[in-house]
Amino acid sequence: MALDTIPSWLPLLFVLPLLLLMKKKMDERSSKKCLPPSPPKLPFIGNLHQLGELPHQSMWQLSKKYGSVMLLQLSGTIPTVIISSAEAAREVLKVHDLACCSRPSSVCSKVLSYNYRDMAFAPYGDYWREIRKICVLELFSVKRVQSYQFIREEEVALLVDSISHYASSATPINLSEKLLALTASITFRIGSGKSFCGSGLDNERFQAVVHEVESLLGSYNASEFLPFVGWIIDTLSGRSKRLERIFHEMDTLFQQVIDLHLDPERTKPEHEDFVDVLLRIEREQAKSIDAARFTKHNIKAVLLNIILGGVDTGAIIMI
pLDDT at 19 over 70: no
Domain assignment present for residue 114? The answer is: no
Cα 304 to chain centroid, rounded: 10
Closest CA to 138 of 272, 266, 260: 272
| More confidently predicted of 21 and 302 | 302
- Claim to verify: residue 150 and residue 243 sit in the same structural domain: yes
Domain assignment present for residue 118? The answer is: no
**Residues 53, 55, 57, CA angle at the centre, nearest 5°?**
100
pTM: 0.74
* C-alpha radius of gyration, the chain, whole number: 27
**CATH number, domain containing residue 308:** 1.10.630.10
Domain assignment present for residue 27? The answer is: no
User: At which of 85, 101, 117 does a domain end?
Assistant: 101
How many Å is the maximal CA-CA distance in the chain? 109
- Claim to verify: residue 85 and residue 52 sit in the same structural domain: yes
* Domain tally, the chain: 2
Domain assignment present for residue 47? The answer is: yes
User: At which of 84, 101, 118 does a domain end?
Assistant: 101
- Claim to verify: residue 43 and residue 130 sit in the same structural domain: no
Query: Which pLDDT does position 145 carry in this prediction?
Result: 85
Give percent of the chain above pLDDT 90: 16
- Claim to verify: residue 275 and residue 309 sit in the same structural domain: yes
Domain assignment present for residue 20? The answer is: no
Distances (CA, A) of 169 to 166, 172, 174, 263: 5, 9, 15, 43
Average pLDDT of the chain to the nearest whole number = 80
Q: Which domain holds residue 308?
A: 126-318
- Rounded average pLDDT over 47-63: 88
- Claim to verify: residue 159 and residue 87 sit in the same structural domain: no
- Claim to verify: residue 95 and residue 144 sit in the same structural domain: no
Q: Which amino acid is at 1?
A: M
- Claim to verify: residue 199 and residue 58 sit in the same structural domain: no
- Claim to verify: residue 304 and residue 160 sit in the same structural domain: yes
- Claim to verify: residue 222 and residue 308 sit in the same structural domain: yes
DSSP state of 70: E
Domain assignment present for residue 137? The answer is: yes
- Claim to verify: residue 165 and residue 200 sit in the same structural domain: yes
- Claim to verify: residue 56 and residue 89 sit in the same structural domain: yes
Closest CA to 108 of 119, 99, 124, 121: 121
Domain assignment present for residue 12? The answer is: no
- Claim to verify: residue 90 and residue 135 sit in the same structural domain: no
- Rounded average pLDDT over 262-289: 81
pLDDT tens by residue, 169-188: 888 888 877 887 788 788 87
Q: Which amino acid is at 262?
A: L
CA–CA dist 205, 201 (Å, integer): 6
- For the packed helices 239-262 and 175-192, what is the interaxial angle rounded to 10 degrees? 50
Given a contact cutoff of 8 angstroms between Cβ atoms, the answer to whether 315 and 176 are in contact is yes
Domain assignment present for residue 302? The answer is: yes
Going by C-beta distance under 8 Å and a sequence separation of 6 or more, which residues neighbour residue 89?
83
User: Which of 12-26, 34-48, 225-239 is predicted least confidently?
Assistant: 12-26
CA–CA dist 296, 301 (Å, integer): 9
